[in-house]
Amino acid sequence: MKKYKVAVIGAGLMGGGIAQTCAQAGYEVVNIDLFEPALEKAKNNVEKLYDKKIAKGKMTEEEKAEIMGRLSYSNNFEAVKGAEVVIEAVPEKIEIKKDIFAKVDAVADQHTIIVSNTSGLSISEMAAATKRPEKVMGVHFFYPAPVMKLVELIRGIATSAETYEKVKALAVDIEKQAVDCPELPGFIVNRILVPMMNEAAFLVMEGCKPEDVDTAMKLGSNQPMGPLELCDFVGIDVMLATMTGLYNGFHDSKYRPCPILENMVKAGRLGRKSGEGFYKYN
């Protein structure tokens, strides 16, 4: 497949990982973020990862240099010029994403496709912030992006067949397994997985110990990680926001967020990233 320039907006864990994934597959990639320290951290994370691979004999210095030569960083939206595809990977808030889409639309080439790495927000609503709704769709990567094989493809109401085919081809070329999803809250994975995690939180609220819930699910359903361990891994705040999105999107009581999640977020117990969630971490 012909390689071209890809721009990734957002240099957090997801954005940095998506940029790394595309560069490894041979694409010229620019990772864009207005927060300069985020760019420095993203670059350092990739270099540290590759240095570890070199130390283990899994990568050569030449291979690292080749990939890093395709990967650049910028704090200017003008850097999207020349990109065939722009991948937005900013926080999961619709107003932030719509603002990013409008800014990218104003400076990107006319033929450029803009996709969102959203875990459940409306593609059609983001597309409406642009003058190219037919060139907008969703590609939901999973963390960590360089490792996880799945991507969910979501078409908005105006997404063209040409846009879909080009984005799907990109997903396959960066060695991802793509599945088609309806433009409904949660798509496929989160619509099934997040309510399970929410139900696990209800069990804790009703008196179960987190370790008992996780042990039961790991041994009883052969899951590699218990639902509450997973909550802590992805972040209690992210979990609550996703569950709230399902509840607001479907208006169905089965998606009601567990109150304990709201209390934990208010208390700053966000999981691994804060040092405490359902479990404590060093």
* Annotation says 160 is catalytic: no
Helix (H) and strand (E) counts in the chain = 11, 8
- For domain 191-273, which architecture applies? Orthogonal Bundle (1.10)
Segments making up each domain of the chain, as ranges: 5-181, 191-273
Choose the catalytic residue: 119, 122, 124, 198: 119
Choose the catalytic residue: 84, 152, 183, 229: 152
What is the average pLDDT across 217-223?
97
Percent of the chain at pLDDT exceeding 90? 95
Task: State pLDDT tens for residues 119-151.
Answer: 889 999 999 999 999 999 999 999 899 999 999
Residue 92 confidence (pLDDT) above 90? no
Residue 173: per-residue pLDDT: 98
Q: Give the closest residue to 114 by CA, choosing from 96, 88, 94, 89.
A: 88
What is the CATH code for 5-181?
3.40.50.720
* Annotation says 111 is catalytic: no
Choose the catalytic residue: 116, 117, 122, 190: 190
Residue 262: per-residue pLDDT: 97
What does the angle CA 232 – CA 237 – CA 243 come to, to the nearest 5 degrees?
100
Residue 63 confidence (pLDDT) above 90? yes
Helix (H, G, I), strand (E, B) or coil at 246: helix
Phi and psi based region of residue 58 (left: phi greater than 0; alpha: psi -120 to 50; beta: remaining):
alpha
242 with 119: CB under 8 angstroms? yes
* Annotation says 119 is catalytic: yes
241 CB contacts (<8 Å, ≥6 apart)? 92
Helix (H, G, I), strand (E, B) or coil at 7: strand
Q: How far apart are CA 79 and CA 73, in angstroms?
A: 9
Residue 180: per-residue pLDDT: 98
* Annotation says 282 is catalytic: no
Peptide bond into 182 cis (omega under 30): no
